[in-house]
Chain A
Amino acid sequence: MESYEVYFQFKPFYQKKSGERALLSDFIEVSAAEEIKKQIDRIIVFPHGINAPVRLTAIQIVQLIHQAVNRVSVIPIGESSALYEPVQEEKDNPLLVFLRVAFSAVLLFFGSALAIMYFHADVNMKEVHQTVYQFISGKKAAQPVLFSISYSIGIGAGIAIFFEVINKLKNKENPGPLELEIHQADKEIRDYLRDQEGKKEN
């Protein structure tokens, strides 16, 4: 008997919450004969669902399909592996959400204001600070101490926010922007060495 061909590709996102039973059809899209497709879609991968991010490789999928269905040749299309996370249940305090959104909006508001003012004053920061202080308090001050101190603290806080320092202290798993950068650099070096190696042999 001839063997049937089964093509599959990884879905970009996992749609179920943690704890829900995960079928193979949650992870891949299949193109095959109607009967075989139904059989494949019914394969259970994780009976108790996934709680943490899960990495699936094309080889694992091929093995799973071969276990359930006989006489098929499985052909992956596209990526060779994919990472799936369960959908996070929204338990956010609405007040907290509002505060976060408000903070972001206000930060953008004052940020763009400051940027344009710096631009207009040819990045004469001192003059800009004096003008802003005069705008706030109505007094002209050569050195708005209060403003300068909070500004300086803010600079530190801004860098910490950008590099996700607090996030890093809480959860060591998630990469910050710097770790991504280092990973990228390492990858580029590896790619370069691999390509050079290929050149030598030919």
Chain B
Amino acid sequence: MIKCMLIILIPLSGGLAVGSSVAAFFVVLGVTVKIVKLSKREEYLVFYQLSLVLGALLSCVIYFFDFSLKQFSLLAVPIGLLFGIFTGMVAAALTETLDIITIAVNQLKITKWLYLIVLVIILGKAAGSLLFFLFPGF
């Protein structure tokens, strides 16, 4: 009986810790705020929270159960795109929090070319990701 309770209780508390820290990470980075603002509809906040929770659940379905949609290879394109957008936003949020671009632009006195630098960073990130995933050996 105690064993059974422990088996339920320990993963539950572990999951609580993981889930809340992931949520806190996104909130602090401002990624979720950015995405919610993208829709210009802050009143649907419940939906957004729900989709965050359901997304976390989806990851458990993918990872812990041997379950597959089967024969929807083309679905990889939109899902990959969405994954990429989210990762890109997290990466951009990190660069912004660390003030890398701001300091570089201020030091080099090229404030006018700020968006050129952003553009170059975008191209670089995409190219690096392509190289990493497609070139065998990484």
Please, how many angstroms separate the alpha-carbon atoms of A198 and B84 in the complex?
50
Q: Which residues of A contact B133 (CB under 8 A)?
A: 125-126, 129, 143, 148, 151-152
Looking across the interface, which residue of chain B has its beta carbon closest to that of A184?
Answer: B102
Q: Is the CB–CB distance between A158 and B80 below 8 Å?
A: no
CB within 8 A of A116: which of B18, B38, B41? B18
CB within 8 A of B83: which of A101, A120, A151, A178? A151
A188 to chain B minimum Cβ distance, whole angstroms, is: 11
Q: Which residues of A contact B50 (CB under 8 A)?
A: 105
Q: Does A25 contact B (CB under 8 A)?
A: no
Q: Is the CB–CB distance between B76 and A178 below 8 Å?
A: no
Residue of A101, A105, A139 with most chain B CB atoms under a 10 A cut-off: A105
Please, how many angstroms separate the alpha-carbon atoms of A122 and B133 in the complex?
17
B112 to chain A minimum Cβ distance, whole angstroms, is: 11
Chain B 94-117, CB-CB to A under 8 Å as 1, else 0, gives: 001001011101100001001100
A43 to chain B minimum Cβ distance, whole angstroms, is: 34
Please, how many angstroms separate the alpha-carbon atoms of A154 and B69 in the complex?
22
Q: Is the CB–CB distance between B84 and A117 below 8 Å?
A: no
Known: A101-B39, A151-B129. A114 touches B69 (CB 8 A): no
Q: Does A153 contact B (CB under 8 A)?
A: yes
Chain A, interface SS category:
helix
Compute the total of residue contacts between A and B using a CB distance below 8 Å. 263
Known: A110-B79, A152-B126, A155-B126. A161 touches B51 (CB 8 A): no
Please, how many angstroms separate the alpha-carbon atoms of A11 and B82 in the complex?
41
Please, how many angstroms separate the alpha-carbon atoms of A102 and B26 in the complex?
19
Q: Which residues of A contact B22 (CB under 8 A)?
A: 112, 115-116, 119
Q: Which residues of B contact A111 (CB under 8 A)?
A: 26, 31, 35, 52, 55, 82-83, 85-86, 89
Given contacts A149-B130, A162-B31, list 14 more A-B pairs with CB under 8 A. A104-B38, A108-B55, A109-B51, A111-B55, A116-B59, A120-B63, A132-B79, A134-B68, A138-B71, A143-B134, A150-B84, A159-B91, A178-B96, A181-B96
Chain B residues within CB distance 8 Å of chain A: 18-19, 22, 25-26, 31-32, 34-36, 38-41, 44, 47-48, 50-56, 58-60, 62-63, 67-93, 96, 99, 101-103, 105-106, 111, 114-115, 118-119, 121-123, 125-127, 129-130, 132-134, 136
- List 25 contacting pairs A-B, 8 Å CB cutoff, sorted by A: A97-B41, A101-B47, A104-B39, A104-B48, A109-B54, A109-B58, A111-B26, A111-B52, A111-B82, A112-B52, A113-B55, A113-B58, A114-B83, A117-B62, A126-B133, A143-B136, A148-B80, A151-B133, A152-B130, A154-B88, A155-B84, A156-B84, A158-B91, A165-B118, A185-B106
